[in-house]
Every structure is written in structure tokens, then in C-alpha cells.
Structure 1
Amino acid sequence: MKFINFNVKECLLIAGGAAIGICYGRVADNLPPSSKVIDVLKSNGISTTRIFNADGPTLQSFSGTGISLMIGVPNEILPSLASGTALFSLQWLETNILSHLPSFQVRYIAVGNEVFSIDPFYSPYVVPAMINLYHALQVLNLTDSIKLSSPQAASVLSISYPPSAGTFNPYLQSVMVPLLRFLDSTKSPFMINVYPYISYLNSFESVTLDYALFRSGDNEIQDGGLTYGNLFDASVDAVVYAMEREGFAGIPLVVTETGWPTSGGLAASKENALAYNGNVVRRVLSDVGTPKIPGRGVEVYLFDLFDENGKGGEEYEKHFGIFGLDGMKLYDLAFN
């Protein structure tokens, strides 16, 4: 078995501070080659990217680029990782990730995606799989540089308004509490996918477009002594309150997906996508945090690099791309 060396200094440089990343979804049959994708990322100053599965050729294309990655473990792999030994997890890591990519470019391993809400069959396997992967990282002396977590949908909350009432779905407690315990003990972040656009669609009679797009003006919402001028902050803080309610204050939070579609649905346009994503980028880069956690930068991954014509569901789900297939921006979004 081959063990991969890593550069501690480079790893620490990648890991410091809040960052803006982008999701590289690949559910499409018309995407440009990986070499073109790397050019798009580097020319726009995007230094961290989320890849949803450990595809060898894709990882190889990122090797040596200096772009750090969040790499996904597909939901269907979780039972094997959970029931296998730590040696099996070590072999999986070596074969599927570290044989293709220097370890210092791996920022996070995302174990499953939206399992608790969208794919509940796999829920019992999430934390056991994470524990086995953690033991494998221990063998490799990588637990400080590579963090494990599991991105969840915002629907894991049964109450999200007002933010201070944020509460996890009680039916998920048997899997949520062990996840929080693992994250707390390993100093890893809670990962959440936040889509104010979808909240607006589902509740447009009570959630205004201005509130979803960071332009609520005088129509701010008061929650105790805190003031909320946008739905993004309110959604993030609802998760923070929910973690506190379970006894886990202080776990950092990473928004692993957020974005706004350019077409295919109500209020989906390039103008609104620019307004939303532009405000998210500015907030992250200025480290303003949220009303609940002011001054604590929240790391965010924008969704999506390109439109994905193979996505199912509503038409708007195919149109979150920030860049066209030619690599040019669909709208004038700055990443730095």
C-alpha cells in the first residue's frame, strides 16, 4: 500500500479562513474537458472546489493545480464503508482519492449528501462510515488537515423561523446527535445546503423576493435582539441555534451549496442570480458572519459551475450554472 506524503505548510495555507468555493456538478453530457474547467477556475481566482464523487480522472486533472477540494463519498458507498474495517476504509481512500491527488489538496471529505432528508435508507451508515474513514486518516496522520463531515439539506430542520427557534427534526435525533458528537470531537464543521430560492418558491406569499435577494431595506425581521435583513443569514443561524439546542454550541458551519438559477422558474434570471450570489460572495470575503455569529466567517460553496442538463426534478434545477460551456461568465460575478 502506498502512503502519500503531504506538505504541512501548504495544507495550513489552504485551510485558513473563510473561503468562497464553487460546486463542480457533472450531471450533464455536454461539459467541457477537465483541462478547460481548471482554466476557468484559475482565471477567476477560485481556489477551492466541491466535487460530488471521487472520480479518478477528474481528481487527476486537479493534481498539482493548487486548487483545494471537497470530495464527495456517494451515498451508495456508505454501507460498505460503515460495515467494513478501518483497513477497508484506508484502502478506499488510497485507491479512490490519494492515489490521484496530493493529500494537501484535499480540504474535506463529504460523506454522503443530504442523506437524512433525501436518502434516509443510508442514514444509519453515515456516522459509522465517518468513524472508519477517520481511523484511516489517523493512520495516514491526516486528521488535522482533512476534515470529515456530511452535507445535509436545510430540511433537517423542523423549525427554522424565527432563527432562534431553529430545531432539528425530532425524528432525526437518533442519527443527528451522533453526527454532531462526531463533528464536535474531531473539530469538524457541520455542512448544510442552503437555498433561499427554494424557500422563496415554497413560501413566496410570506417570503419576499427582496428578503431572499439581500435587499429587504426597511423590511428587516427582528428576532430577540438580532436583526435579519436576508434569508441566507436567517437560514444559517437557524442551524446554529439548532446545534446549540442539542448541546453542541461552537461547531463551525460550512454552506456546501447555495445559489440562484438563471432560468426555468419563478424569479429565475441572470439579474437575480447576480444579486444573490454577489451578496453571498461579498459577505464571505468580508468575514461579517451572521447576526448570531458576527465576525466569524462562514465558508460557502456556490452552486453551480455549469448548468447540468441531466438533472431531474424541476426545470430550474438545470440552470444554476455561473459559467457558460465556453468558460465565460453568464453574469458579472466577482469571486475576490
Structure 2
Amino acid sequence: MTVRDVVLQIAQVGFTIGAAPLIQGCIVQFEERVQRGRGPGIFQPYRDLWKLFHKQIVVPETASWLFWIAPVVAFVCMMTVPMLIPVLTNFPLPLSNMGDILGGGLILTLGSFMITLAGLDSGSAYGGIGSSRSAIISILAEPTLILVFVGITLFARSMLPFVVNHLLVAKPAVYLGPAHLFLVAAFFILLTVETDKLPIHSSTHIEVYMIEEARILEYSGPLYGLLKWASMMKQFVLYTIFCNVLALPWFMSSRGLAVGVIGAGIAVIVKFVLVAGAIVVVDTIQSRLRFYRYQEPLAASFLLAVLAIISTQIG
């Protein structure tokens, strides 16, 4: 372990924390442009967080200690995952050996689980509805996410995301192989689910069919700000896994020099913006589905992950 490695480790976590609201702002701007609106600026999420952290906290009388710690646990979980995955560098950093890609998925699930419990703990009707709907979707979404990670592990013969990145960069035949393409398609569908872009969600807090927003509707002030920030960071982490491990594993720093790290940060933003644009277009052109049809895209994602595993074993 060197001082450079420690600085790079801190830089990856800091970059995730700092850039996550920017990606959210770009996504909102894309949505408004596609729908022929003007929309807020791409830096609006930063202003929203600033306002939330300067407001008063109002807690329901029925809430317990779980209501207080859920935002902190969710935020810390989203800070932990960037230590395990390639964000700016394509080589492991000091704390990367704490866990593998399955461990990162488990930490992401833990953060979401705590928010679900907090939604139920608040005693609000909307919190209960949002948590129940989220749990129903998770029945298919979380196993599919784990299955995708298993598929990645099988075709790379390793559970470390850095090995997968190196394999795809070094071997174009593997990158263009059916197993990898199936995994990319499966993970893309999961991105729409985990980032509230499945056409049964509503990302606003004023519509009956909201899911993620319903779970945190009773929060306010800094606690609400932590949850919103954690949600943006989760989106950033999932985009990182999709781009840097699967779909676009290039343009990362291989030596850890300052110029390479800055270039990798710019490349990450560009890659995320391209993926976000594709997701926004897909979400916008689809008609909104009834809630009971949530299993259709998730079942397709599950099937694609299974096909990826079969292709790996046959090939």
C-alpha cells in the first residue's frame, strides 16, 4: 500500500459522492428535452441538496430508531461499494480486496432493505404502499441482479470486477461473444428497474404509482437529503458497474497518474451520459404499464442472464 493508492481510493469515493448529483441532473435534463420541455439545469440536484441540509427535521410520532438510522446506513452502503469496483482505475486499490462483485451487490441490497424497513416503520400509508411494491419488485430484481453477477463470474472465471474489465479489453472476441452480450442486455433492463425508469414507476412524489418516492415520503430535512443523495449514488454505482465492468470497459487509468485519473473521470461522465440518454429514450417511448405487468421486463432480464450462463457453459 502506497500513499498514491490511498489517495486514489479516497478520490474514487469522493468522485462518486460528488459526481452522482451531476449525473442525476443530466438525466432530468434529458427527460425534459425528450419531452420538449426546458427543465432545470444539470446542477439543480446540488442546489436541492443544499436546501434540504438547511431545513428542519420532522419525524412522525410513530417512527422508531430505525427511521433515524436508515438514511445513514443507506448512505454508508453507497460509499462502500465504490471501494470494490473500478471507478477511475482499472487496477485494485487498497480496500478493493474487502469483497468481490457479489459482495458489492449484497451491500447495495442492504441499503435498499433499510429504506424499505424505514418506509414501513413510519406508519404512513404511502410508506407502506411504496415498501410493499418495492419488495414485490425485488423478488425478481434482486435474484436477477445476483444471477447477472454470477454470469459475469463464470465467463471471466473470477469474482473480481477488475479481472472482468481486463478480460473484455484484452479479448474483443469475448466482448462480442453471446454470453457478454446477453449479460449487457440483462443488466440494461435491471438499470431501468433499479433507477426508477421502469415504466411502472414515477420518479416524482405527487403521483399514486410512485414507488421509491413513496418509501421516503415521510422524511424531511437532512435525513431526506441523505436518502436522495444515497439514491443518486446508487444510480452512479450501477452505471459504473454497467459501463466500466460490462459495456464500456475502456478509458480508465492504468498507472494512477494525475492526468490519467482526470481523463478517466471525464470519460466516466461521458459514458454515463450516453447510457443515461439511452435509458431516458427507452423510458420515454414506452407506454406506462400497469403495476401487475412489472414481471414482464424482469422476467426477460432473468431469461437473458440464464442464456448468458448457458452460453458460457456451452462455449
Please give the TM-score of this superposition, normalised by the length of structure 1: 0.30
Higher helix content, 1 or 2: 2
Between the two structures, name the one with larger relative contact order (CA 8 Å, sep ≥ 6). Answer: 2
Please give the TM-score of this superposition, normalised by the length of structure 2: 0.31
